[in-house]
C-alpha cells in the first residue's frame, strides 16, 4: 500500500455527523481522530490540512456541536470530535460529551491515532492531559498540534514546543498556524504515519 499523499487530504469530503455510536459510519480504513478544546483552532486546522475553507465548520458558538463529524477520502478518514472544556456547559451536556467520546475512542477499531489540537499559548490544560493519559492507557498514539503559533514570538514558539515535548515524551508535537499555513507538511506526515501503520496491518 503506497503512502498517503497531499491529494488524499485535498480529496476529503464530509460523510456524516454522528450524535451517538449507532450513527458511526461503517469502518473503512485508517481513521484519525481530531480532538481539542473548543476554540483551540481545530476546524481551522482541519480546513488548512485539506485546503478547504468550509469542510469543518469554524464556529463562533463554542461547544455547540455534540456530534462526531466524519470526513473521508479513498484512503483516509477523519473523525472530528466535538470540542471540550467550556466552563458553563451544563453537567448533563458534559456527561453526554464524555460518553460519546469515550465510546468512540475505546471501541473504534480502525482508529490509527489522535491529533490533539491545543492553542500554543495555553497547551496541556487539565483536560488535555487527562485525554492524553487516558488515551495512552488504551494504547492510542498522539500527535500534539500547537496551533495559532503566529501569536507567539519565535522564541516563545521554540520554548513552548520544547516544554510540551519534555512533558509528553511519548507523543509527537509540532507548531502549527492555519493563518500562516505553518506546519502543514509536518502535520500531514504525522497523520500519514498513523494511517500507514493501520493500513499496513490490514494488508499483512
Q: How far is CA 125 from the centre of its chain?
A: 16
d(CA 43, CA 90): 23
In sign, the C-alpha dihedral spanning 53, 56, 57, 63 is negative
CB of 197 to ligand GDP, least distance (A): 26
Grid look-up 485535498 returns 10
Q: Residue 178 or 199: which CB sits closer to ligand GDP?
A: 178
CB of 157 to ligand GDP, least distance (A): 12
> CB-based contacts of 7: which residues, under 8 Å, 6+ apart?
none
d(CA 65, CA 37): 12
State the virtual CA torsion across 132, 49, 101, 39 in degrees, nearest 10.
80
CB of 123 to ligand GDP, least distance (A): 14
Grouping H, G, I as helix, E, B as strand and the rest as coil, residue 59 is: coil
Q: Which residues bind ligand GDP (CB under 6 A)?
A: 36, 38-44, 58-59, 83, 147-148, 150-151, 177-179
CB of 131 to ligand GDP, least distance (A): 14
Q: Residue 5 or 53: which CB sits closer to ligand GDP?
A: 53
Angle at 107 between CA 104 and CA 111, to 5 degrees: 75
Q: Residue 83 or 141: which CB sits closer to ligand GDP?
A: 83
Q: Residue 160 or 199: which CB sits closer to ligand GDP?
A: 160
CB of 58 to ligand GDP, least distance (A): 3
Q: Residue 35 or 199: which CB sits closer to ligand GDP?
A: 35
Amino acid at each position: 500500500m503506497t503512502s498517503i499523499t497531499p491529494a488524499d487530504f485535498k480529496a476529503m469530503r464530509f460523510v456524516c455527523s454522528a450524535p451517538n455510536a449507532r450513527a458511526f459510519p461503517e469502518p473503512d480504513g485508517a481513521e484519525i481522530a481530531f480532538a481539542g478544546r473548543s476554540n483551540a483552532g481545530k476546524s481551522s486546522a482541519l480546513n488548512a490540512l485539506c485546503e478547504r475553507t468550509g469542510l469543518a465548520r469554524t464556529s463562533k458558538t463554542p461547544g455547540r456541536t455534540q456530534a462526531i463529524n466524519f470526513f473521508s477520502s479513498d484512503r483516509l478518514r477523519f473523525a472530528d470530535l466535538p470540542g471540550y472544556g467550556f466552563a458553563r456547559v451544563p453537567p448533563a451536556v458534559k456527561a453526554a460529551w464524555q460518553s460519546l467520546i469515550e465510546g468512540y475512542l475505546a471501541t473504534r477499531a480502525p482508529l490509527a491515532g489522535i491529533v490533539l489540537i491545543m492553542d500554543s499559548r495555553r497547551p496541556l490544560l487539565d483536560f488535555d492531559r487527562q485525554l492524553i493519559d487516558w488515551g495512552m492507557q488504551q494504547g492510542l498514539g498522539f500527535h500534539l498540534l500547537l496551533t495559532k503559533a503566529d501569536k507567539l514570538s519565535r522564541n516563545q514558539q521554540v520554548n513552548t514546543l520544547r516544554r510540551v515535548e519534555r512533558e509528553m515524551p511519548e507523543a509527537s508535537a509540532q507548531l502549527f498556524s492555519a493563518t500562516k499555513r505553518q506546519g502543514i507538511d509536518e502535520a500531514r506526515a504525522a497523520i500519514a504515519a498513523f494511517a500507514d501503520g493501520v493500513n499496513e496491518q490490514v494488508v499483512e
